[in-house]
Amino acid sequence: MTQLDVRPQVADTVSGAAEGDVRGKGLGKGSVGLVGSAVIGISTVAPVYCLTSTLGSTAGEVGLQMPAVFLAGFLPMLLVAFAYRELNKAVPDCGTSFTWTVKAFGPRVGWMCGWGLVIATIIVLSNLAGVATSYFWLLAGEITNNPSISALDDDKLVHIATCLTLIAAATAISYRGMTATKGVQYALVGLQLAVLGLFVAMAFQKASAGSFDTGLDFSWQWMNPFAVESMAAFTAGLSLSIFMYWGWDACLATNEETTGSAKTPGRASLIAMVVLVGSYLATGVAAQMVVGSGASGLGLGNPETSDNVFAALAGPVMGPLLGILLFVAVLASATASLQTTFIPVARTVLAMSTYEALPSSYARVHPRFKTPGRATVMAGVATGVFYTVMTLVSENVLTDTIFALGLMICFYYSLTAFACAWYFRGELRRSARDLFFKGVFPVLGGLLLAAVFLKTLIDMWNPSYGSGSTVLGVGSVFVIGVGLLALGLVIMFVTERRSPAFFRGQVLTKSTPALVVED
C-alpha cells in the first residue's frame, strides 16, 4: 500500500538533518550537551540582572499583580519556544530565525527578521556591559568600604573605559569557542542561582517575622492578571516581562555545535524557560511579601530604587555581609550574559554571510577554535561603539534605546512563530500533535507578541514613554525603535544591489517540507 509521509528531506550538510540548500558553517560539532545548552540559555537571559532592573518597574506599572504579569509574559514565550523546537528539528541551522523565516516567507522577510535579532542583541550587549560596569565599581566600593571608589562609576570616561574592557574580555572568551564559554557559564550561572535562592529564603523568613512595615501577606489574587487596573498598565508590564525572558533562544543558536542538534537545543530551551519562570515567580512573591510593592521606603514601586531593586534590598534583607553576595550575583549575571549573548548575534551574522545576505568575510570560521571569529569581533566592536556613542550623546538616548528593545524582540519572535505555522502548513492535518505544536501554539504566541508590538508602537508615540525626550514632538523611543527598523530596510536594499543572488531566492530557497512517497 502507498502512503504519504510528510517529512523534511534530509541532507548531510548540517548534522544530517537539514533542507538540501542549507549549508554547514564549519563550527565545532558536539561541543555542547543538553545541560550546557540549557545553561547557555539561562545565562543569556541573565535572571538576576533582569530581576534587579525590572522588579521595581513592573511593580510600578501593575502593583501587586507583578507575579501574574510574569506568568503572562511566560505564556507567549513558551508558545514561541514550541515553534523554535519544531523548526530546529527540521532545519537545525545556526541562523535560526533568519534561516527559518527565509524558508517560510522568502529572503526579504528573512533578512529583516535577522536584522531584528542582530540589532536587539547589540542593544542588550551594550546595556549588559553598562550594568556590569556599574556593579563592578559598586562592589569594589562595598568591599573596600570606600564610597569614593563606588563614585568612579559616575566618571563618564572611567565608566566607558571599564565598559569597553569588559566587552573586549567577553568577546575574547566567545572567540575561543564553546568549550571556553561553557566552563565559565557553569560557574557564573550556578553562583547567581544559588545567591538568588538564598535571597528568596531570607526574604520569606523576614516576611514571616514581619521585619518591615510595608510587608504583605501572600494572596492568590497576585496571580490574577485581570486585576491589573488598566490595559495600558498591563501592556507596559507585559512588555517588561517579555524582556525578562528574552535570550533563551541562544540554546538554538548553538544547534550546529550541540550533541543531537535536531532535538537537544529545543529541549534545552524548554528547561531554561521552566527554570526562569520558577525563579521569577519565587523572587517576585518573596520580594512583595517582605517589602510590598508601594512607592515609598523599600517598596518595590519606589521610583528612586526601582531601576536597581537588589541594591536597595541587599543589606536590609540579607545583612551587610551576605548582602555583598547579591552584588556579586548581579555582576556575575550581567557578565555571564554579556559573554553568551555574543553567541546568537555572531552565529546569525555567520549564517547571513554564508547565504550571501551579508559580505562573505563574516562567513569565516576560526580554524582552531571553530567559532565565527570575524562575526564575533564585529559584534564586540559594534557593541563598544554603540554604547560609547549613546553614552556621550545623552543618558536619555541610551535609556530610550533600551525601551525600544521590546519592539525588536516582539518583531523577530513573532515572525519566527508565524514562520513555523506557514512552513509546516502541509503537515498540520497529519496529527493532533502537529496541529497544535506546529500550528496552533506558534500562531497564538505570534499573535500575542504581535499585539504587544502594535500596542507598544502606539504607546511609544507619546513623548512621556521612556525618558520623556522628544524629536519634533514625537517620543524619542518611537523614533529610535522605528528608526532602527528603517535602518535595516536601507541596509537590506544596499545589500540587495551588491548580492542579488540571495534576494532572488537562488541561495537559500523558500520551501516547505517535501512529500515523500513510500511503498
The whole-model pTM stands at 0.86
At 152, list the grid cell.
568612579
Biggest CA–CA distance in the chain, Å, is: 82
Residue 471 in 3-state DSSP?
strand
pLDDT of residue 398: 66
pLDDT of residue 305: 81
pLDDT of residue 179: 65
Write the Ramachandran bin of 318: left for phi over 0, alpha for psi from -120 to 50, otherwise beta. Answer: alpha
pLDDT of residue 10: 33
- R_g of the chain, CA atoms, integer Å: 23
The amino acid present at 217, given as its one-letter code, is D
pLDDT of residue 20: 58
At 100, list the grid cell.
527559518
The amino acid present at 196, given as its one-letter code, is L
Q: Which residues contact 85 (CB under 8 A, 6 or more apart)?
A: 265, 266, 267, 269, 270, 437
Q: Determine contact, residues 351/102, Cβ cutoff 8 Å.
A: no
Write the Ramachandran bin of 430: left for phi over 0, alpha for psi from -120 to 50, otherwise beta. Answer: alpha
pLDDT of residue 16: 38
Q: Which residues contact 242 (CB under 8 A, 6 or more apart)?
A: 73, 76, 77, 406, 409, 410, 449, 452
Low-confidence ranges of the chain (pLDDT < 70): 1-20, 178-182, 395-396, 398-399, 466-468, 514-519
pLDDT of residue 242: 84
Give the bridge partners for 11, in sequence order.
18
Q: What sign has the CA pseudo-torsion 134, 206, 302, 76? A: positive
At 450, list the grid cell.
504581535
Residue 64 in 3-state DSSP?
helix
Give the C-alpha distances (Å, rounded to integers) separating 70 from 112, 217, 500.
Answer: 29, 19, 44
- Distance, in Å, from the CA atom of 251 to the CA atom of 254, rounded to the nearest integer, reads 6
Return the H-helix or E-strand segment holding 518: strand 515-518
Return the H-helix or E-strand segment holding 478: helix 476-498
pLDDT of residue 516: 39
pLDDT of residue 19: 52
Residue 474 in 3-state DSSP?
strand
